[in-house]
Amino acid sequence: MRTSSSASAIFAGLCASLVSIGLARFAYTPLIPALIQAQWFSANDVVYLGAANLVGYLIGALLGRPIARYLGNKNALRLMMLLVTAAFFACAFPLSVSWFFGWRLLSGITGGAIMVLVAATVLPHVPAARKGLASGAIFLGIGLGIAGSGTIVPPLLSLGLQSTWLGLGALSLLLTAVSWFGWPADLPHPVATQERAAVKPTPPGVYLLFAQYAFMAAGLVPAMVFLVDYVARGLGAGAHVGALVWVMYGLGAIVGPVTYGFLADKLGARTSIRVVLVVQAITLGLLATSHSFIALAALAMILGSFPPGIVPLALARVHELIPEHHRQQIAWSRATVSFATFQALAGFAYSALFNASGGHHTLLFVIAAGAIAGALLLEQAMRWLPSSIESRVCTH
């Protein structure tokens, strides 16, 4: 593929991750107070509706590849972007809780499906030496969405809650339109390749990655959900300082994907994952003991880089472990399902623990640090397996 065409495909991928995950999931967080204040829904319903997107994400991760087999990757991605755009517009009309839940669920489904398909559609057309950086650019859209949740939504809210949803829908429609012709042609998948993929054993390192990715999902939820509340109410710093810290989290989310993808290209995915896990575990531990704004802002930026940044890292690890494109798609789909499952379970578990502990934020951050440390220690635990398995893991 020519460089210009490759750039168009990467831009299309960025638009897809921005709309379906960056905005569809993260723009909901700053809308929660407005939804309650405008009496669209009760506080309990708003939390319930927020969980709909995470559940949908899991469903989409499971359905992504079957949809692509029927429609082709390119058409499936276009359809998902149209559906999430429709969901934004539909959420401007709070007809009922079930209506709103259905559309929030659908927005999550599109995010899960796009996460499974977008890299498999774009990266085969990118030179091998640039795949890490390219995947970082694709998932930069998630970071832009996190940052946008703190910068685009507040001005839109000044126009009203309904106008906010309509504005998000208009932005989604614009990004769908400008990326429409950027998607590359689908690659053929010969039956012989599929048959070989079905019988060839999966390297144990892939299962290790699935487990690590699940622990990472459990580790990122507390900061992603409770950081602003921790600063504003837990530390008594107020909503304004909490909002500033969230902006720093968003800046980290913008920097994360490209930085982590660059690390994967230079150090290799395996080494990069180790480094990132150590940094994140330390950062979460410091967050539980820090009170100054400068420290909180710096820690928030590091933590913000993690949710979108680990995506290109995990994807690069899949490519290191499995050379065949079709088997890479299967492994990446399963990794996304693993992540989505534990992210949804962790979201409910942390919320229940938060309520049961009387709003103890630091307990959540300590548990999250333990989850990240667990992901790091899993690799060492693999060394306790029989030497034949260990040697197969270490060769990758």
Tokens representing 47? Answer: 């939390």
Same fold, 1-182 and 199-396: yes
Q: In which element (H, E) is residue 246 found?
A: helix 239-267
Q: How confident is the model at residue 299 (pLDDT cuts 50, 70, 90)?
A: very high
Tokens representing 214? Answer: 């699940």
The correct CATH number of 199-396 out of 1.20.1250.20, 1.25.60.10, 2.60.120.10, 1.10.260.40 is 1.20.1250.20
What's the confidence (pLDDT) of residue 77?
A: 92
By mean pLDDT, which of 22-31, 161-170, 196-205 is the weakest? 196-205
* Average pLDDT, integer, range 177-200: 66
Task: Please classify residue 292 by burial: count the beta carbons closer than 10 Å to its beta carbon, then call 0-12 exposed, 13-18 middle and 19+ buried.
Answer: exposed
Q: Specify the long-range contacts of residues 40-49, CB closer than 8 Å, at least 24 apart.
A: 40/94, 40/161, 41/94, 41/97, 41/100, 45/97, 47/351, 48/97, 48/101, 49/97, 49/100, 49/101, 49/104
Q: Topology of 1-182 in CATH?
A: Growth Hormone; Chain: A; (1.20.1250)
* Average pLDDT, integer, range 208-224: 88
Q: How far apart are CA 135 and CA 138, in angstroms?
A: 5
What would the pLDDT profile of 6-52 be if each residue is shown by its tens digit?
A: 788 888 888 998 998 888 888 887 777 777 777 787 767 776 777 78
Helices H / strands E in the chain, number of each: 19, 0
- Statement: the pTM of the whole predicted model exceeds 0.85: no
Of all residues in the chain, the percent with pLDDT exceeding 90 is 19
What's the confidence (pLDDT) of residue 115?
A: 85
Q: With 90 as the cut, is the pLDDT of residue 256 above it? A: no
Question: Are 16 and 141 in contact, with CB atoms under 8 Å apart?
Answer: yes
Q: How confident is the model at residue 151 (pLDDT cuts 50, 70, 90)?
A: confident
Token look-up 């690659």 returns 187
Question: Are 263 and 275 in contact, with CB atoms under 8 Å apart?
Answer: yes
Q: How confident is the model at residue 187 (pLDDT cuts 50, 70, 90)?
A: low
What's the confidence (pLDDT) of residue 84?
A: 93
What's the confidence (pLDDT) of residue 280?
A: 92
The domain locations on the chain are 1-182, 199-396
By mean pLDDT, which of 71-80, 87-96, 197-206, 358-367 is the weakest? 197-206
What's the confidence (pLDDT) of residue 3?
A: 52
What's the confidence (pLDDT) of residue 99?
A: 92
